[in-house]
Amino acid sequence: MKTSLSGNALSNWDVAVGKPCCNLKGVECNHQGYVERIDITGWSISGRFPSGICSYLPRLRILRLSHNHLHGDFLHSIINCSLLEELNMSFLYLIGTLPDFSQLKSLRVLDMSYNLFKGDFPMSVTNLTDLEMLNINENVELNMWQLPENISRLTKIKSLILATCMLYGPIPASLGNMTSLVHLALSGNYLMGQIPAEIGSLKNLQLLELYYNYHLSGSIPDELGNLTELVDLDISVNKLTGNIPESICRLTKLEVLQLYNSSLTGEIPNAIANSTTLRILSIYDNSFTGEVPQNLGQQSAMIVLELSENRLSGPLPARVCNGGKLRYFLALDNIFSGVLPDSYAKCNTLLRFRVSHNRLEGPIPGGLLGLPHVSIIDLSYNNFRGTIATSFGTARNLSELFLQSNKISGRLPPEISGLSI
């Protein structure tokens, strides 16, 4: 194996005749001296990987080759390693076709992500009933394929990552039977139709990613409120319609909610504002209306709040900085009115603050323009009045400041000359 590969990490492999290989870095053996594990993840090794590895390592159980620069016809021979339990060939950017994996009856982990495989996806994977993780992420050269209904045979699977791998058609309702799932990622494909209500049966699910499918339609199922372990929900960039269901109040562990760039309507539920765990709320580019609950962020350490390009009205939420971690506040292109809350001038963690194209008025709070980490402040196209406070001295990172189309008067403070604008 060493003779066909090159890389600094192999320099400590002493493979002289008669020398045991069990002490080599990245190699583990069982008590009988047979090699059971090879892990060369991230070694930056290049060259032709030997195609006959299974013939001289018949007891191999774990093979991790990711993040290297390998080539050759070895993939189709690896399926002869009949005892394999884990095969990780991610980030190799291999060309060729995927083999029939059905011989690998003991396989628990199969990671083929970030490659350039062509041809058909091997449906025989559904016969690997011991699989706990299947990752085919970022394989855009595959032929278009549909998730078969019998994918639900993989009852032990915890992580099913099939993002950006040329999936199309409906999401099979049978996914709801895969109750061991913790991570389900089907984003960046060509899925269409509605999100099946059966997804709500995945009681152990923590991450659900369906974004960038463009043709998913219908409403967000109420049954998603049954996913009480859910931490991250991203169903952005689709054609979803209707309201955010009130059942979301049952997602008491939710930290990330991303619903941007769809056709959702209605008001932001109070249940979202009452969350004690929510860190990221991104709902821009929809058609939400009404006022934003004033207690949004009061009980959680909000980091990202993106409300732009909706029809939201009334005052801006005054307590979003309560958690002391807010970095991005984007609320442009709405019909917000009233004044900027003074509390915003105390958001010392802010990096971007954009509220342009609204109906905001009154003075700019003293201190807002002097926040120490903010790089962009956009207050343009509103009705702000008064003078600009002389607080720029502490704005060490401010590079873009937009104040046009307001009713601001007076002179620019001399401190502005010290900015990197």
CA–CA gap between residue 213 and residue 204 (Å, rounded): 24
C-alpha 25: how far from its chain's center?
A: 33
Q: What is the residue whose two structure tokens read 């690997």? A: 128
Query: What is the average pLDDT score of the chain?
Result: 93
**Ranges under pLDDT 70 in the chain:** 1-3, 14-20, 390, 392-393, 417-421
Bridge partners (DSSP) listed for residue 86:
62, 109
159-161/116-118 β-pairing: unpaired
pLDDT digits (tens, 9 = 90+) for 124-183: 999 999 999 999 999 999 999 999 999 999 999 999 999 999 999 999 999 999 999 999
Q: Is-contact 366 389, C-beta < 8 A? A: yes
> Which residue, among 181, 189, 226, has the nearest Cα to 207 in the 3D structure?
181
Render pLDDT for 271-322 as a digit per residue (tens, 0 to 9): 899 999 999 999 999 999 999 999 999 999 999 999 999 999 999 999 999 9
CA angle at 218 for the pair 216 and 222, rounded to the nearest 5°: 110
The correct answer on CATH 3.80.10.10 for the domain covering 267-421 is: yes
Exposed, middle or buried: residue 236 (CB in 10 Å: 0-12, 13-18, 19+)? Answer: buried
Sign of the torsion formed by the C-alpha atoms of 346, 350, 356 and 359: negative
Q: What is the number of other CB atoms lying within 10 angstroms of the CB of residue 11?
A: 9
Burial 77-110 (b: 16+ CB within 10 A, else e): bbbbbebbbbbbbbbbebebbbbebeebeebbbb
- Answer whether 284's CB lies under 8 Å from 309's CB: yes
Report the predicted TM-score, pTM, of the whole model to 2 decimal places: 0.93
CB count, 10 Å around CB of 20?
10
Kind and range of the H or E run holding 385: strand 383-386
What pLDDT score was predicted for residue 315? 98
Q: Hey, where are the domains in the chain?
A: 267-421
Partnered with residue 400 across adjacent β-strands are: 376
CA distance 82 to 175: 28
What is the model's pLDDT at position 17?
Answer: 46
